Each structure stands twice: as C-alpha cells, then as structure tokens.
Amino acid sequence: MGSLLSACGINIKKKKTEEERHLRANDREFNLSCQYANNAIKTSKYNIFTFLPLNLFEQFQRLANAYFVFLLILQLIPQISSLSWFTTVVPLLLVLSITLAKDLSDDITRHKNDKQVNNRKVEVLIDRELKSEKWMNVQVGDIIKLENNEFVTADLLLLSSSEPLNLVYIETAELDGETNLKVKQALTLTGKLGNDIQKLAAFNGEVRCEPPNNRLDKFTGTLTMGGETFALDNERILLRGCTLRNTEWCFGLVVFGGPDTKLMQNSGKSIFKRTSIDRLMNGLVLFIFGFLAFMCTILSIGNGIWEYQEGNSFIVFLPRADGANAALSAFLTFWSYVIILNTVVPISLYVSVEILRLGNSYFIDWDRKMYHVKSNTPAQARTTTLNEELGQIKYIFSDKTGTLTQNIMTFNRCSINGKSYGEVVDFAGQRIEITEKTEKVDFSWNQLADPKFSFHDHKLVETVKMGSPEVQSFFRLLALCHTVMPEEKTEGELFYQAQSPDEGALVTAARNFGFVFRARTPETISVVEMGVPKTYELLAVLDFNNVRKRMSVIVRNPEGRLILYCKGADTIIFERLHPSCSKLMEVTTEHLNEYAGEGLRTLALAYKDLDEDMFKEWRLRHHEASTALEDREEKLDAIYEEIEKDLLLLGASAVEDKLQDGVPQTIEQLAKADIKIWVLTGDKQETAENIGYACNMLREEMKEIFIVASNTAEEVREELVNARRKMSPGSGDEPPIVKSGLFGKKSQVVEDEEVDGDYGLVINGHSLAFALQKDMQLELLRTACMCQTVICCRVTPLQKAQVVEVVKKHKKAVTLAIGDGANDVSMIKTAHIGVGISGQEGMQAVLSSDFSFAQFRYLQRLLLVHGRWSYLRMCNFLRYFFYKNFTFTFVHFWYGFFCGFSAQTVYDEWFITLYNLMYTALPVLGLSLFDQDVNDRWSFQYPQLYAPGQLNQYFSKMAFARILLHSCYSSLILFFIPWAAMCDTVRDDGKEIADYQSFALLAQTCLLIAVSVQLGLDTNYWTAVNQFFLWGSLSVYFAVTFTLYSNGMYLIFPSFFPFIGAARNSLNQPNVWLTIFLTTILCSLPVVAKRFFFIQVKPTINDKVRHKVRQAKSVPPPPPTRLSRRRVSTRRSGYAFSHARGYGDLVTSGRFLRIPIKTRSSLFPHTETPVADSTPQTYRIIFEEPQR
C-alpha cells in the first residue's frame, strides 16, 4: 500500500527531525547512511494519478463548492428535486473546470521547471576525477566545480577559487532580488587546495553545522581537519540560487541539497492576509445560510398546513404514495425549497470577486503615473486579494531611511577631537550656505581620490596634510573599521562593494582625505596612508547587528601595536568610553545634536590600545565562542562586551541622506485624507524630528509636540498620561474599550477619543521598550492615536513590528507599513498591507510586500486613487450582486404562497441556470472594473473623499440590511404586479394568456430589466465596455429566450424545452410591455427619490465633489488662490536642500495671469516630478454639513 501511495506521489513517511548535520567530504558511503536528501527538487503538487482527485478534494474544501455539491445530491432525489439537475451542474462544472484548467496549467509549468533544473549539468569530483552529472544526482558531501556565470548547484561550503585571496563574486537576485555583487571568501586552509584535483580528492574534512533552515543571512558550523577546528559562518557559504560572476572557477563542498537548501526552505507558503470585507462577507454568508433555512422553514410549514387542509381534495386524481402525509410532505418540501432558493448564495459571487480583484491589480501594474523612469521600475501588485483594503487605510507606519529619504549617502560633516568640520564661513566668520557654486576642495594631490566625492571645508584637508594625529587617527579608523570589499580593475581605479550606503560614504571620505582602503584578505587590511602603503594584521572583526548597533575591528599596525577601532551609535559608544573622555564627550554631543538638527545621520568613533597578554587570553575564549554550535551569537556578544569598554573618543561623523522628491506633498495629501502617519526609524531623535519638519509631518501650527525620552517605566507612563490629559482634559483613566468578536473570540477595541487640534508625539527606543510592555500598551496607544503624527526613533526591527501589532490588535482600523530594507520586513508582514520600496537596500522588503513601487510619492496615488476606486467598486459590486440575487430569490418565496407551497419554480429552469452565468454576469463586472465617482485629478484635489472607506460607509451590516429591504420591496413589485396583470387576461385576439408559462416569462423579463435599470442607476462612470455589456446581455436574453422557446428546440428535446411558443404568444402584446414598464418604474422610483432627497438635504462628500465636477464642466472656475504660509520657527534646522525647482520664474513672468486655468501647465516637469501630473496644485477642503 505504501509503495502504491509513493507511486502516486503521496509521501506517507514522517521525516525524523534533524538536530545537527554531520558530513564528510568525499565519503558518499558515510553521508548516504545519514539519509540526507539528494539535490533533486519537486515543486509540483500533482502527478497524472493524483491531479483530479487531489484538486477536486482541495476545491470541495471551499464552503461554496461543497454546498453546491450538496444541492446536486438533493436534486438527484426524485421526491425532493423541483429543478432539473443541469441548473446546478452547469454553473458548478463551469467554476470547477476554470479552476482545474488554471491549476493544471500552473502544475505543468512547475513540472517543466523542475525537470529543467534537475537535469542541469555540473562537474562533480567522483573517484579522483571530474565527471559531468545531473543536478539531481549530486549528493551531500560531494565536491563540485562551478565556472563563471553558472548557477550554484546546492548550498556549498566554498573551498577554493581562481581569484586572489580565494574570493568569489556572486549575484543573489533569485534569493533576495538584489543585483549588486556580493563577495564570499574561503578559509585560507582550504584555499590552498586550489584546483589541484588530487589534493581536492584527498580532502577529508568533516563539517558539523546547523540543520536545514530558512535563514538566508545566517550559518553556524565548524570544519574539522587535521585535528584543528575552524569556525564557519555565512561568509563561507554559497547558496543555491546564486550565480557565480567575475570568477573563472571555484570548488565547493555540498552541505545541503535539494529540499534542504535555504532557497527551497524559503519557498513555503506566505502569510495569507484577508481584507475586512472578506471577514464581513464570511459573517454575512453564515447569516444568509440561516436566512435560507428560515425561509425554507416557513414555506415547509405552509406546505404542511396546506396539505392538511386542502391536500385531500386532490387525492382523487393525485394519489399519495403509501405512508405519505402532511408532515412528510412538509419535510420533503423543506429540502425542495433549499434547492430552489439556493441563489441567495450564488457560486458565481466568488468567481466574480476574484476577477474583480485581478482586474484592479492589473490597473495598478499598468499605471504609467506610478512608473519610475530613472530606475525603470513600475508599480506592482504582488497580491490580488487586498486591493479594496487600500481604500480603508487609517494608519501608515513608515521607515525613514530609503523610504522618505533617498538612502544615497554623502559625507557632510565631522567632529574630530572637539572641533567641527564641514561648515563654510566667510571672512567675518559668518556661515555660508553651500550651493553648486561653492568652491570645492581640490583633491588632485591624492591620485587615488574618488573624483565624484565633493567637500567644501578646506580646513579639514589642511589639518590632514599638517599631520594632526587625532585627524589622521579618525580617517585611519574609517579606512580600517568596515566590511567593504574593494575591486581594482585597473591601477588606481577603485570600486567599493559596501553592504550599506553609510559604510560606502565613510570609506570613500577616508579615501579622499588620504587614507585609501586598497585591499583585504582574511588576515590583513592594506591601506595607503598619505601616499605610503601600509598593511595591518586583522586579528578580529566584531561585527555589527541591530542589537549591538556598533562594529569593531582589532588590528596590529606595522609597528606591532594592538588597537581596537570601534564605530557605532553615539548612545552605545558613549556608554563604553573611559572617564577621561567626559569633557570631549560633552563637546562632541553638542556637535552631534547640531548635525542631527540638520537632518544628518551620525556615528561616534572611538579606539582603544590593547595589552598583548590580555588579548591572547581573550582571543582563546573568542575562538571557543566562534566555534560553538549552540548559542554562538549570544556567546560572541558577551565576549565582545568584555573588550569593548574604556574606549577613547576620536569624534563623530555625519552623512547626509536627502528627502525623496514629493515626500512633503504626499504626506500633506495623506494627512488631509485623515490618515495618521507614524515614522519608525533607527536614527537619532534630533535627526528624526528634523526630517519630520522637513516633510510636513511635524508642523509649527501644531498645538504641541510631546517628547517622551524617559529612562524608567514609571516616568514613561507619567509622560504619556500627562500628554493625553493635555490633549483631552476630560479623558478618563480607563481606556474606552469596546469588546467585539464571535464564538467567544473576544477582542478589545480602543475607541478614538475627541481631540481639539493637531498634536505630534516623538518617543525614543528606550522609552518605547517600556511603553510596549503589556501593562502600558493601551496607554501608549491612547496617547499616540490622539496625535496626527508619531515618530519613534532608535527603534529595532522587532519594536517596529510590535508597534504595528499593538495598533492592529486594539484599533478597529486598517494599517499599512512601508519600508525599503530587510529591517522593515517584520513590520511589513505584520501590517494589514505591506508596501515595499525598491531602493538602495536591496529587495528584501519588496519580496515580503503586497504592493511595491520605486518612490514614496506613489503611495498617495496607490491609496487616494487605486485604493479608493477599488473599495468603491467592490462595495458597489457587492451591494448590486446581493440586490439582484435576493430580488430573484424573494420572487420565488412569494410565489410559494400561490402554488400551494409545492416548490414549483416561478421562472423557466433555463433562466434560473443562465441568470447569474450569462444575463447578469458581465454588466456587474463592467460596473466593478471601470466605475469611478470622480477621476484621479479630482481624487487628488479632494483627499477628503477617502474618509468614507475608513468608516466602512459603503458596505457594512447596516448597508446589507438596507439591501435586504430594497430587495424585498422590489420582489413584491416584480411578483404581484405581473401576477395581477396576467390574472384573467386575454390576448388582443381573445386567446388565453393567463397561463403559468406566460406568467413565468413575464416575471423573469420584468426582473431582468428592473435589475438592469438598477445597474444603470448605480453606475457613475459610463464607458463603451459598460454599455456593451449591459445592452449585449439584454440582447442575449431575448435572443436565447426566443431560441429556447421555439418549435425546433421543443421537437429535438421535448423534455428540456417545454415553453414552446411562450415568447411569441406573450411578448407581442402591448399590455405585457406596459406591465414591464410599470414594474421597472415602481422599482426604480424609490431609489431615485431617496437619492434626490438626500442630495438636497444631507449631501455626502461625494455628492458635493461630483456637483463641483459638473459645475467645472459647464463653467470654468476662477483660478483658486492659496495663501502662502511662512514658517516661523525658533528651531535650528540646516535641512536646507532643494527638492524641486521653485516657482519664482513663473511668478515674475506673469504667465500665470494670462493662461486660463484649463490650459495651465503643471508646476512640476513630468519626467521626474515630486508628485507627477496627477497631483493637484491647490487643495480645497469641503466640510461635511452638521446633521440636523
């Protein structure tokens, strides 16, 4: 049995959990005994035997599909079935077939890809010679040879390479989306193997390492060879999916193969996010099932009463079966009506919703106004299930660096030994603003200088040339303490591969000031100091991480002196300084505050001379920690802490990161849409504050900006409470909590509290750690949510996710997180919607996101245009869909009272089958794909249009109740008026027309025309496609009706097409068309009257804007004036760079007085604009009128 299941592709074995991997090089027998997976991969889900049963099993796990199978089973029971089987089979088969075809196509593609990958060839060292083998036959422990531009076959331990110092260059685009080359380096010991096949074949090293996992940035292991143990980390590992570049050849030892590789371990299912409308629909579907049972119960009770009172009269010519009575008849009738009234839960709803979402996703992908020309990056909807959620965002959580700013760093200022450099002053000592015309420092004396680097303070260069020991130590530290990899293709032309733009900027600055980082090996760093080549012995690298927030190197200089160089966040470095640095620290702190006030990113730099004996003892313990297989990082951190203390301060650096184009305008627009923006950054408080002012998040007209920077939990609580009471004096101690939830799953929702005016909140990471404690979360939430803007600085990636989780958990609001780096991934995954920016920090954020684009400014178009339209379209679609189906079903319900509750259908069975599939499917899709209340320009001009989505005004439980009432009214009209009109009616020639078939035809025609007119009333924006779908569907209805009711169809299939001649007999009578006209008018009149009344008495924001749109089309409005507001601030902010060209030329030319508003040119050029041509030049606020 097990072999049969295996043949069918079903694996019934439970794999034993692997705790540690132990392998030997060139020993297949030993490695196979461990039963490690080979290098074959399988991403396909099915095979030829399992496809049909497994796919159908998956589809029938969906409630709707299972429900319709249940209906089909009921229809196959003769005593119950009141409809032909095809009324359920046709739509069910159509839906199942579409899904089957899609899944089959996807799986065939996966099979082809698997086959292509598994059959790739690679050279493997077998029996002391290189043999060409398929990838699938490679085993753990094999040594393989890779050549330039080849894909890495498996997860390999790099042994040797053709490049000097055993370096290899790899591209990791398939792993993390990054196209910049990364450098890996083999151990010196294995690098000696070179490409000598005999030495490689004799290599018998043993590797012990972590079990297979999905952590791309981490590897922990050891290599034992010749009795010595060497630490292995991520720098020695080549991962499957990478591509070898600029390297002639390399050899590697297979550590993980096939499904165990980190690439395949990361191919698991991503987190599935559901929209608030999805969650609401789930509840409504349960209600609909209950409502269906309620209607069926009433009709079955009616049948029982009718059978008891009137049924005996029919026994003579309709004899009952043995044992049949009124109770049994009622029971069978219940199930018959379950079949007939099943259209309240139409299967086509789910298909239509997916088509709608897919279409709106394509609109985002195709939007050329969200296409970034410079980077050739279009916007991308990476998921198709969250579009309407974009129209309901209340909170945005944004990273700063690379998201609001460009993440292109330039060395700007520095403080060395208490003296600040980087400012330019005139002869009077007054500061001069630096512009393009400002004289630059001449670096021609340095042949290795970077020609792109610019600096304006000549004093610093002179100080370096004069041989100031402090200044030279400063730049020496920048040239030695980093992880940058140099590349020198031609003599003197250096290219640096830096993991972060900050590091690249600092190393480039040191290069230009005479301390050129030239080359590195695992044991040495080569620099050129003021023209003199020097080589430093590299003894240890104490690497940076988000917890340490610092990096150190320990080197031995050419004179034999041991020195530790350290750079990191100033708060971290200052805690580890020697007491003798207190005065210098005070001066440096002043400079740091000044730099941060100018919006610069700062680092503190320090060093320490080490004792030889102490270092030897420390190095032994460092080696033990670095080769530990368990808790290696924690042990290393403890070792690092021991030596990184009593440091001597050198100074501080400051690099500039400019704002992206259009950020202030975008934030202003989003604020007008009542979207609250929280910035979560790792930068200093002063830097974050000034960026906040520069991009309009913090404004001078705010009543107050609260700063929380306490060191104890009680102080943090006190500051939060004081801030809350200032904003809302009547605020109580207990938060206003509303408990909500179903089936015992209660959630505490904190309601919004009234605040008069705009406030801001700035909180640092230390205080935030206290505020995120369980007993203080609600206090933080209450205070922060009262503010228009919140800035959290010095936060870790984990804290970013925690902040988002708190708001997501306790506020009934939709959250969006936007970032560009790997440190934003947890925040992006936690929020309801994650947006990734493809910037300077790689593609990790994009790969984890739901939507992506190149610039922050595109966020306003994503939300205010695409998000709002998607939400509006989805709500219009659902309201109309439920209306047409409830109306269709209620007519059946009323008919039950006139047919003896016999479960007879009021419509023709073919009309029931085609109603949702053909007659009403395309018009509602046209509405849901193309409708818009106003165009994108007006959406930008009035951001207040976004508010209804935040409040769920377009589709809610109350809106659903109104739909029920509207459908009930329409069904009464659509049943009783045709019934009254047909009762005792004759044709013009005196022949009968008051028969069941004529009444069914009239009822279904009235229904279809009435719901089509309702669709027209619901459509705000008519296109040729809408017109074609609507009129085409009505034409198809009449064409199909006359065809199915023809003599020919009856003669061929008499049992399937019994309505012979009904269309010819009825639709040529004037009274029939008068009845259709009358029912349509009566169905539409209340809708038109209600809308007219509310537009006149209580217009919504949409009504007001649409009125202005109509006015603008008829009469051009006068040019609006916008009073310029000048910011008066006592704050010092040197964040004085231009984001876009100003309007001086336009104003002085007088052209704005002569050109009409309709032909006015955009204030920004189209190619690289802050907000593109869709952004309004003026903002108008429309206030809602108070309720009367």
- The type of residue at 968 is C
DSSP annotation of 863: I
DSSP for 673-723 reads TT-EEEEE-SS-HHHHHHHHHHTTSS-TTSSEEEEE--SSHHHHHHHHHHH
3-state secondary structure of 950: helix
Catalytic residue, chosen from 155, 260, 399, 457, is 399
Active site residue 399: yes
In terms of Cβ atoms closer than 10 Å to its own Cβ (0-12, 13-18, 19+), residue 116 is exposed
Look at the block and give the residue holding tokens 């959990």: 17
Q: CB under 8 Å to 200, separation ≥6 — which residues?
A: 125, 143, 159, 160, 193, 251
3-state secondary structure of 792: strand
For 328, half-sphere exposure in the C-beta direction (CA atoms, 13 angstrom radius) is 7
d(CA 504, CA 496): 7
DSSP for 992-1020 reads B--SHHHHHHHHHHHHHHHHHHHHHHH-S
Q: Which two tokens stand for residue 194?
A: 């070179």
Q: Which two tokens stand for residue 735?
A: 């938060």
d(CA 107, CA 102): 9
d(CA 785, CA 779): 10
d(CA 333, CA 901): 8
Q: Is 134 left (phi over 0), alpha (psi -120 to 50) or beta?
A: beta
In terms of Cβ atoms closer than 10 Å to its own Cβ (0-12, 13-18, 19+), residue 497 is middle
490 to 199, 447, 449, 483: CA distances (angstroms): 33, 13, 14, 22
Q: Which two tokens stand for residue 49?
A: 């035997």
3-state secondary structure of 987: coil
- Taken as a whole, the chain contains a residue count of 1188
Helix (H) or strand (E) holding 419: strand 419-421
d(CA 1006, CA 1078): 9
d(CA 112, CA 122): 19
| Helical spans, DSSP H, in 147-275 | 173-176, 188-191, 197-202, 262-265
Helix (H) or strand (E) holding 134: strand 129-134
Residue 708 phi/psi, 5-degree rounding, is: -110, 110
3-state secondary structure of 209: strand
Any idea which residues carry the catalytic annotation? 399
